Amino acid sequence: MNDKPNYYYPPEDAARQSASGATPEAPSVASPQSSEIPASLRRRDRSRMVPIVAALAVGAVIGGASGAGAALLVTGNRGATAVSGSNETQGITVNRPDSVTAVTAVAAAVSPSVVTISVTDTSGSGGTGSGVVLSEDGYILTNNHVVTLDGAAASPQIQVRDNNGHLYTATIVGTDPTVDMAVIKLDNASGMTPIQWADSATLNVGDVTIAMGAPLGLAGTVTTGIISALNRSIQIASSAAPQDGTGTDPNSSGPFDFFNFDLGQGQQSSGSVAATINIPVIQTDAAINPGNSGGALLDASGKLIGINVAIANAGSTSGQSGSIGVGFALPSNLAKRVSTEIIASGKATHGLLGAKVSDAANAEGSTTVGGRLEEIVAGGAAEKAGLKAGDVVLKFNGFPVTDASDLTALVRTSAAGESVTIQVLRDGKVQDIAVTLGTYEG
């Protein structure tokens, strides 16, 4: 048995369902009178709720809910909506509105901005994942592997369920397999509650995290933890990885070599899963399971710090093991840039270094970690900047580089044409080199 960590996407239910199953009816929804919630708590800017949450005066945030099992959703343009506790809705159940926690308040406020996504292909197989609302008219951000069923579905049918149990059909606006993100658009949607963005560059290890999504198809699930690590990079299988001359040495080895898709028992992917992509991630110990993919990783004030994308598998040969406290999310700053570009043009751009990279630690006689440049592509950004084969990249725009995966992920995070500073070790001397990245269009 392989005892190395095995990362895999958690996009779908552990056992994928046939598309022939009956669709449940949307639950009934009752709206309380607006007087039940103070006007100051119905404003659209949820950031103004932070002092209330921080002061633990969260009873006021959900004070309009009444009755056992009632769930109050504090939204911007919908005011407050009370729904009965039901497994078919994404409502946050509050039985004791006078003694709730800060996590309860965040979950209730953000619930309208998190959706459940069901995808089926022409063969009838499918799965579920999660997404976050970007706009009032229904742009939704999720993972590429969710809407393409791990690269197996060319023309998927997509159904989205919001926190009130309303069902929408949706179409793909654009996908970005380079960093595993996609944007879909709900049909005939209005009045949605957009997620609030946090600045992922300001996070600290140890910050509180709250994950929301539909693990194992269980919509409206909330888990908590902390940020376990920042500036992490992982390598995961992809059905559409870039082939551009910038990547890892295929002969190198490391703890991130074994990856697989969570396709469910008996399912096989029709896409190519031999290729890999390197992505920058936030590591968290909040429980993330199959179905959480594309969902929200939030800070203590309810702002989006990341899009849940992958989990670590501690050596299971089946690829079906659940959370072991090592989950990963794409940083919000990357997600915001990529989703904005996809909405504007249907695709996103990424930086291109133009160099073959390996792990410096594996080089004979190496005394440092980093990304070693093995080959320089003629006419590429690296050559134009004066980078040379044998240079060991120690930092990229101030971020430490420990191996080839780190460097590749950081290059992909950057926008095409961005000017960056790369710190290299050359002939025993450390120097900073300015580089204008090339363009890779995924």
Confidence of residue 25 (pLDDT cuts 50, 70, 90): very low
Whole-angstrom distance, CA of residue 281 vs CA of residue 230: 7
Do the domains at 1-12+114-345 and 349-441 have one common CATH topology? no
Whole-angstrom distance, CA of residue 225 vs CA of residue 207: 8
Look up residue 71 and give its two tokens: 């769930």
Q: What integer is the mean pLDDT of 417-430?
A: 94
CATH number belonging to domain 349-441: 2.30.42.10
Q: Which of 125, 130, 228, 293 is catalytic?
A: 293
Q: What integer is the mean pLDDT of 413-432?
A: 94
Contact by Cβ (8 Å): 366, 260: no
Task: Let me know if 293 is a catalytic residue.
Answer: yes
Whole-angstrom distance, CA of residue 34 vs CA of residue 64: 9
* pTM assigned to the model: 0.75
**pLDDT at 19 > cutoff 90:** no
Read off φ and ψ for residue 9, nearest 5 degrees: -65, 140
CATH 1.20.120.1200 fits 1-12+114-345, yes or no: no
Task: Let me know if 123 is a catalytic residue.
Answer: no
Higher-confidence position of 143 and 76: 143
Q: Output Rg (C-alpha) for the chain, integer angstroms.
A: 22
Q: What are the sequence ranges of the domains in the chain? A: 1-12+114-345, 34-112, 349-441
CA distances from 403 to 312, 328, 334, 408, 416 (A): 19, 18, 21, 9, 22
Residue 438 sits at the vertex; the CA angle it makes with 434 and 442, to the nearest 5 degrees, is 140
Q: Which of 135, 145, 358, 414 is catalytic?
A: 145
Q: Which of 13, 121, 162, 180 is catalytic?
A: 180
pLDDT of residue 359: 92
Whole-angstrom distance, CA of residue 392 vs CA of residue 366: 10
